[in-house]
Amino acid sequence: MKVTEAFQKAAPALSFEFSPPKTPEQEQHLFAVIGRLKAFRPDFVSVTYGAMGTTRVKTFAAVRQIKADFGIEPVAHLTCVAATRDDIARQLDELKQIGIENILALRGDPPEGQKDFVPPRDGFKFAKELIAFIKAKQPGFCLGAAGFPEAPRIEHLKQKIDAGAEYIITQLFFDNRHYFDYVAACRAAGITVPIIPGLMPITSYHQIKKMTQVCGATIPPELLASLEAKQDDVEAIIELGKEQTVCQARQLLAADVPGLHFFVMNQAEPISTILKELQFAG
């Protein structure tokens, strides 16, 4: 199934993002989490691609098993990092051979400690180049791209769409005004593809502080003050994160978004509680 088919339904699409396991124990945990979350009938799930492409084998193995064992449509992340054109061509062949139809094509982040992204020799510097390459080599793949509500760069996004991206999944955000303004700017620029908001339930003060610093997202002052006041109370942080995500999701659903994409950090309990409160079947 192509991911774009999920956005043609009357109900909003539901999707999750997972990280590939690094150890046998993490693998067992990940598939236990997927087994629990399958009850909510996600339309698709994506699996990330580690720094410098270090988890490519694990990512590809995970998407294959998700499709074969759980019957859920997987999306494989693919990045420009540490990969030549020949590398990517081989990876596309491998994904096709294992029955994967959907790719989220990303530039990827530079290695930790490196400020600027430096493409490998005979590689790609921008996601738009990767997208165009995939479309030329393997036009059967359904391609998604990343969007950044708090750093819009609409002209760059349009180039990704023109290159062949068919939908956008946004970076996490905690103030829905960023998303609504972003969508309005995209539509004004002639971008018509589905734009799916990405939501991350907060489960750790220190984790979300680090993550927002890395990706450039902001935490609204009132929410940040509440998190700081309860930063050492794990249960209180989880409850606060649940309330924040439920509030955001309800407002987004009321605005008829095409779907909700949750960055679940390979955890079942927080997102299960949130989806039950939102009355998703589970």
Cα distance between residue 279 and residue 48, in whole Å: 27
Q: Could you read off the pLDDT of 6-17 as tens digits, one per residue?
A: 999 989 999 999
pLDDT of residue 282: 57
Residue 13 DSSP SS3: strand
Residue 192 in this model has a pLDDT that exceeds 60: yes
As a whole-number percent, the residues of the chain with pLDDT over 90 amount to 82
Q: Could you read off the pLDDT of 100-109 as tens digits, one per residue?
A: 999 999 987 6
pLDDT of residue 43: 97
Cα distance between residue 144 and residue 170, in whole Å: 10
pLDDT of residue 65: 95
Q: Could you read off the pLDDT of 37-61 as tens digits, one per residue?
A: 999 999 999 999 865 555 678 899 9
Give every CB contact of residue 139 below 8 A, 6+ residues apart in sequence. Answer: none
Q: When comparing pLDDT for 121 and 3, which is higher?
A: 3
In the chain, where the domains are located: 3-277
Give every CB contact of residue 259 below 8 A, 6+ residues apart in sequence. Answer: 6, 7, 12, 13, 14, 15, 43, 194, 196, 197
Fold of 3-277: TIM Barrel (3.20.20)
Q: How confident is the prediction for the chain on average, in pLDDT?
A: 93
Cα distance between residue 141 and residue 149, in whole Å: 26
Q: Could you read off the pLDDT of 122-153 as tens digits, one per residue?
A: 888 899 999 999 999 999 999 999 999 999 89
Active-site amino acid positions: 17
